[in-house]
Amino acid sequence: MIGRLNHVAIAVPDLDAAAASYRDTLGAKVGAPQDEPDHGVTVIFIELPNTKIELLYPLGDDSPIRGFLDKNPAGGIHHICYEVDDILAARDKLLDTGARVLGSGEPKIGAHGKPVLFLHPKDFQGTLVELEQV
Amino acid sequence: MIGRLNHVAIAVPDLDAAAASYRDTLGAKVGAPQDEPDHGVTVIFIELPNTKIELLYPLGDDSPIRGFLDKNPAGGIHHICYEVDDILAARDKLLDTGARVLGSGEPKIGAHGKPVLFLHPKDFQGTLVELEQV
């Protein structure tokens, strides 16, 4: 069912410092910050040859990553995103196996303009998993 | 400097359950467990079209992931591994920028038989970064 690893998302307490770290220290291709008000984050994409790193910084008072950064003040890996061909078919198959889909269970439009869903970390080895239809 | 994302490593408290979750629930291609006594882990590789997920389970009393699982009993993402062409050149450039290399600073041979180094999470947004020469 799952296909490519679309991205690894890292929540960071200082977006400029994190961008500098990836650009200047690790020598990666770092994009410009993009505000995603619907998701409560400002995002910077780092393009690797085979996938992306997504740096996440809180935007607004209700940012879904604020609690994560309170618990992990230095930052940390927040989630990983796998691609699927058909997100509704994937969701229904997952629900059949007893896995839990977060929120309403209906896909939202993610940072790349594609439908996404999040799966409960307790069902996947403590890892928050995002599925993105590509 | 960094190239492809070689793998994302997830420490898991139950290797069979984690393998079943990726194989049966997420429908991924899951390999056989491999003991890596030099690294204190048993590893299962999950082959995605563009990269790998590495499931890590403690092997032996001195496993380097035992402490991580004590703190994260459900499991969690342990590190991410970026590929580099020349690990000694990468190390020296990192040290010049003030980044900290863990251990002796000399590369070890990793689970894929290639030289690896680990970088301090405090220098990379709370993320343990492995570099692997490919």
ipTM of predicted assembly, 2 dp: 0.95
Q: What is the pLDDT of residues B16-68, one digit of tens each?
A: 999 999 999 999 999 999 999 988 999 999 999 999 999 999 999 899 999 99
Query: For position A67, which CATH number holds?
Result: 3.10.180.10
Q: Domain of B16?
A: 5-133
Q: Are B8 and A10 inside 8 Å of each other by CB?
A: no
DSSP annotation string for chain B: ---SEEEEEEE-S-HHHHHHIIIIIS--EE---EEETTTTEEEEEEE-SS-EEEEEEE-STT-TTHHHHHH-TT-EEEEEEEEES-HHHHHHHHHHTTPPBPTTSS-EE-TTSSEEEEE-GGGTTT--EEEEE-
Give the pLDDT mean for B98-109.
Answer: 93
Q: In B, which residues are within 8 Å of A3 by CB distance? A: 48-49
Q: What positions of A carry a catalytic annotation?
A: 130
Number of structural domains (chain B) is 1
Q: Are A126 and B4 inside 8 Å of each other by CB?
A: no
Q: Are B50 and A82 inside 8 Å of each other by CB?
A: no
Which pLDDT score, from 0 to 100, does residue B112 have? 78
Mutate to test the interface with B, among A85, A94, A125, A130 (most CBs of B within 10 A): A125
| B133 interfaces chain A, CB cutoff of 8 Å | no
Query: Is A122 strand, coil or helix?
Result: helix
Q: In A, which residues are within 8 Å of B55 by CB distance? A: 125
DSSP annotation string for A42-58: EEEEEE-SS-EEEEEEE
| A28 interfaces chain B, CB cutoff of 8 Å | yes
Give the pLDDT mean for A31-45.
Answer: 95
